[in-house]
Amino acid sequence: MTSTTAPEDAYAGSWTGAVRGFLARSLPLEHLLPVRQPYYIGSWVYMFGAITIAALVWVFLSGAVLAFFGPQWWHVSGIGHFLNSVHFWSVQMFFVFMVLHLWGQYFAAGWRDGRAPTWMIGVVIFLVSIVTAFTGYLSQQNFDAQWIAVNAKDAINATGAGAFFDVLNFGQMYGLHIMLFPVLVITLVAVHVVQVRMRGIVKPIERRAE
Amino acid sequence: MDAPASYFHWGVILISIPNLLLIIGMVILFLVAAVARVGSHDNEDL
C-alpha cells in the first residue's frame, strides 16, 4: 500500500513531525555528506579546521587510555609516558590549528551570510577548550600541577569563581577534565560541524571592481 | 628541556623564545597555506 500524503503532512500537529521537517529542510543528506566541494575549498586554509578535529580525536583516544590506567601508570611505565606525551602534544596541535583556523575564518569573515551562530559556537569552543586544558595541567599529578594550582588559586579567587571552582581540589579538577569538559567540547564541535554543513563553506570575499 | 627558557624582552613586550618561535612558525604556516593550492581544480564549476 502506498501513501498519498507527503511525510510532513502525515505528521502535521506533532512536535516530532515538526522536528523531522526542520531537519529534512535544513540538513539534507547532500549537505551533510557532500561528494563535491566548490573550487575555493582548494586552499590549505580550509584544512585547519579538519586538522583541529583530527588532533581532537587523538586527544580523546590518548586521554581515554590515560583515564583508564591512571597516574600510577602514566608516570612510571614507558608506554604510560608515551601516551602521556601523545595526549600533551595532540593538545598542542589542537590549539595551534584551532588558532590557525580562527585566523583563517577571521580574515575570510566566516560569519557572513547567516553564519554568525557558527562563528559564536566556535568562540565558545575556544574558551571551553582553554578551561579544559587548564584543568588538564592541574590533573598531571606532579610538581608542575601543584605549582600551577598554588599560583592560579589567587587569580581564580579574584574572579569570584573560587567558591565553586577550586583549583587546589584535585578530585574536582580531574573530574571536570575527564568528564564534563570533554563532553562539552566534543558536543560543541559536533554542533559546529553540523552548522558548517547546514550553510556550507563561506565564499571568499570578492575583490572590489577596479 | 628542564632548564628555564630564554626570554625576548623589548619594551613592554616580554615573551619566551620557544613561544616566539612557535608564533612565527604559525604565521609562516598560515601565509603559506593562504598562497598554496591543494588538489586539482576540477570543481571550479561549482
ipTM of the complex: 0.79
Q: Is the pTM of this model over 0.90?
A: no
Would an 8 Å CB–CB cutoff place A143 in contact with chain B?
no
Cα-flanking dihedrals φ and ψ of residue B44, to 5°?
-70, -10
Question: What is the per-residue pLDDT across B5-37, written as a single tens digit (0 to 9) for each?
Answer: 899 999 999 999 999 999 999 999 999 998 887
Max Cα-Cα span within chain A? 72
Alpha carbon distance A178, A122 (integer Å): 21
Instruction: Report the candidate in A122, A87, A86 with the shortest Cα–Cα distance to residue A102.
Output: A122
Distance from CA of B9 to the nearest CA of A (A): 23
Instruction: Report the candidate in A124, A119, A64, A116 with the shortest Cα–Cα distance to residue A90.
Output: A64
Provide the b/e sequence for B5-44 (b: ≥16 CB within 10 Å): eeeeeeeeeeeeeeeeeeeeeeeeebeebeeeeeeeeeee
pLDDT of residue A124: 98
Helix (H, G, I), strand (E, B) or coil at A145: helix
Would an 8 Å CB–CB cutoff place B30 in contact with chain A?
yes
Between chains, do A45 and B34 touch, taking CB under 8 Å as contact? yes
| Residues paired with residue A43 on neighbouring β-strands, in sequence order | B37
How many residues appear in chain B?
A: 46
Pick out chain A residues at pLDDT < 50. Answer: 1
The Cβ of residue A87 has, within 10 Å, a number of other Cβ atoms equal to 21
pLDDT of residue A82: 96
Would an 8 Å CB–CB cutoff place A47 in contact with chain B?
yes
Helix (H, G, I), strand (E, B) or coil at B7: strand
DSSP B37: B
Give the mean pLDDT of chain B.
Answer: 84
A136, A179 Cβ separation under 8 angstroms: no
What are the sequence ranges of the domains in chain A? 43-108, 112-199
